[in-house]
Amino acid sequence: MSEGPTAIERYRQLREQISSGKVRSLEQMHCTHLTCRPGCHECCVNLTVFPVEFYAILDDLRLAGVTKLDFDREASCGYLKDGLCTIYQVRPMICRTHGLPIAFLNMDADEPEMSVSFCPKNFIDADESIFSEETTLNIDELNYQIYEANLRFIEENPQLQLAPDSRICLSDLPLYLDQQVAKKR
C-alpha cells in the first residue's frame, strides 16, 4: 500500500489547490472577458466522474450532514434547481473550470496540437493570441492528476472491484447516500 495521503485526501488537496490557485487566478486575469454569473448554467450537463471523485463528494455530503439529495431527471444536470447548482460547495473539479479557457491536446487535428476551448458567451472580443500556458488551464494535466489519485483509490479499495477506467454517474449520489443512511440504521 502507498504511503502519504490517502487517495481521497490527495483528491481534496488537488481540489483546493486548483480552486484557490489556478482557477482563481484565471478568473481574476480574465474577468473582463468572462460573462459567467449565478443563474447561467450553459456548461452544466450530467457527468460521470472517477470513483475517487465520486466517493470524495459522497463523503463531503455525509460530513455536511446531507442525507437526501434531489435529482431532476429532466434537467441538463439533475442537480440544477432554478438555474443554480444544489451541490455547489462539493461540485466536481470540471465544474470548477466552467467558463475558463481550457487547453488540451487536440488529437482530431491533422497533427496533434494544443487547442483552447471556452464558452462561446465568453471572450467575445478577445484575440486568441492572449491564450498561452499561463493564461489557460491545462485540462489534460488536471485529468492526469485525478487519474493518479484514482489509481491509488482503486488500490486502497479492492473490495469495490474497480477498473482503472471505471466511471460513476454523478446522478447516483442520491442512491449511494440512501445506502449509507440505511447501513447506519
- Interface ranges with ligand SF4 (CB under 6 A): 41, 44, 47, 77, 79-80, 85, 87, 91, 95
Q: Which of 91, 81, 86 is nearest to 60 (CA)?
A: 91
Question: Of the two residues 42 and 140, which places its CB atom closer to ligand SF4 in the complex?
Answer: 42
Q: Which of 84, 93, 76, 92 is nearest to 173 (CA)?
A: 92
Tell the smallest beta-carbon distance from residue 59 to ligand SF4 (Å): 16
Cα-flanking dihedrals φ and ψ of residue 128, to 5°?
-65, -10
Tell the smallest beta-carbon distance from residue 110 to ligand SF4 (Å): 32
Tell the smallest beta-carbon distance from residue 76 to ligand SF4 (Å): 8
Residues 49/170, Cβ–Cβ less than 8 Å: yes
What b/e readout covers 138-161, taking b as 16+ CB neighbours within 10 angstroms? ebeebeebbeebbbbbbeeeeeee
C-alpha span between 153 and 91 (Å, rounded): 19
The three-state secondary structure class of 138 is strand
Question: Of the two residues 79 and 131, which places its CB atom closer to ligand SF4 in the complex?
Answer: 79
Sign of CA dihedral 47, 53, 59, 61: negative
Question: Of the two residues 53 and 131, which places its CB atom closer to ligand SF4 in the complex?
Answer: 53
Question: Of the two residues 29 and 85, which places its CB atom closer to ligand SF4 in the complex?
Answer: 85
Tell the smallest beta-carbon distance from residue 77 to ligand SF4 (Å): 3
Question: Of the two residues 5 and 83, which places its CB atom closer to ligand SF4 in the complex?
Answer: 83
Q: Could you tell me the three cell numbers for 43?
A: 456548461
Tell the smallest beta-carbon distance from residue 84 to ligand SF4 (Å): 8
